Amino acid sequence: MTTATELPVESTGVLVRRRAVLPIRQGYARIKRLLDVAVCLALLPPALFVLGLCALMVRLGDPGPAFFTQWRTGRGGRRFKMFKLRTMVKNAAELKERYAHLNELTWPDFMIKDDPRVTPVGRILRKTSLDELPQIFNILRGDMSLVGPRPSSFDAGTYHLWQTERLEVLPGITGLAQVNGRNDIDFDEKLRWDVQYVECRSLRLDLGILFRTAVVLFSRRGAY
């Protein structure tokens, strides 16, 4: 029989159980997947309506595609295409090198609070996190979950060995790092929160993170 100790995650207000041995509880992964699909299907009709409005705003604000896909790293280091609403000018990728000196995080993480590549409509979408709404389709496809480490744009070869533990689970739309600093913390600190999630994951923790995410979205803390 494994022993366990209780570990409070202060920022989430959730008491999680760190197990001395880390196998998933029987049935946890299956219930988590059912919860993901059920929530996404329930939200799909209003989500499609909101996505239509947002897509129209993006097109009117800056000519070009309303949506874009970006390669991200998922469970087991597998690369997949993550869906987002476009918040930057069409040639943002080409302009990244020009503004690299403004990066406020440790490479390979990249973030500029007042990124000049972001369009006026894009700033609204980012502040409200509506640009992430298309990831509901990534969840339905099985690429992502509601809760888990945010998938990185760089591949697993960039990670140090201790950081690869985050790749044991599906990436999520939100996670411990997102409710404990979001874009205000650097890659290493995000990774520490992600590893803690992997080691302590449970339905109770997932529900606590979802609740805290709603609070963070309302406050718009760390949204750039």
**DSSP conformation letters of 3-41:** -EEEEEETTTTEEEEEESS-PPPTTHHHHHHHHHHHHHH
* 199, part of any domain: yes
Looking at residue 143, its amino acid is: D
Residue 158 confidence (pLDDT): 80
Question: Is the confidence at residue 12, as pLDDT, over 50?
Answer: no
* Residue 161 CB-half CA count within 13 A: 0
Residue 121 confidence (pLDDT): 95
Residue 7 confidence (pLDDT): 42
Percent of the chain with pLDDT over 70: 78
* 10, part of any domain: yes
Question: Is the confidence at residue 186, as pLDDT, over 90?
Answer: no
* 224, part of any domain: no
> What confidence tier does 24 reach under pLDDT thresholds 50, 70, 90?
low
Looking at residue 152, its amino acid is: S
If you average pLDDT over residues 77-97, what whole number do you get?
A: 86
**Distance set, CA 28 to CA 32, 33, 71, 193 (Å):** 6, 9, 28, 20
> Which pair of structure tokens corresponds to residue 193?
């929160």
Question: Is the confidence at residue 169, as pLDDT, over 80?
Answer: yes
> Which pair of structure tokens corresponds to residue 54?
């947002």
* 31, part of any domain: yes
* In the block, residue with structure tokens 């990244």: 96
CB 66 within 8 A of CB 86: yes
CA distance from start to end of the chain? 46
* 13, part of any domain: yes
CA dist 2 and 195 (Å) reads: 20
Nearest residue to 205 (alpha-carbon basis) of 7, 38, 33: 7
Range of the domain at 210: 4-219
Residue 202 confidence (pLDDT): 92
Mark 161-187 as b/e (b = at least 16 C-beta within 10 Å): eebebbbbbbbbbbbbbbbbbbbebeb
Q: What is the mean pLDDT of the chain?
A: 83
> What confidence tier does 100 reach under pLDDT thresholds 50, 70, 90?
low
If you average pLDDT over residues 79-88, what whole number do you get?
A: 95
Residue 94 confidence (pLDDT): 72
| Most distant pair of Cα atoms in the chain: their distance | 61
* 201, part of any domain: yes
* 123, part of any domain: yes
Question: Is the confidence at residue 2, as pLDDT, over 50?
Answer: no
* In the block, residue with structure tokens 């943002």: 92
- Decide which of 99 and 85 is more confident: 85
CB 103 within 8 A of CB 112: yes
The DSSP symbol for 88 reads B
| Total number of domains in the chain | 1
Q: What is the pLDDT of residues 188-223, one digit of tens each?
A: 888 889 999 999 999 999 999 999 998 888 776 655
> What confidence tier does 147 reach under pLDDT thresholds 50, 70, 90?
very high
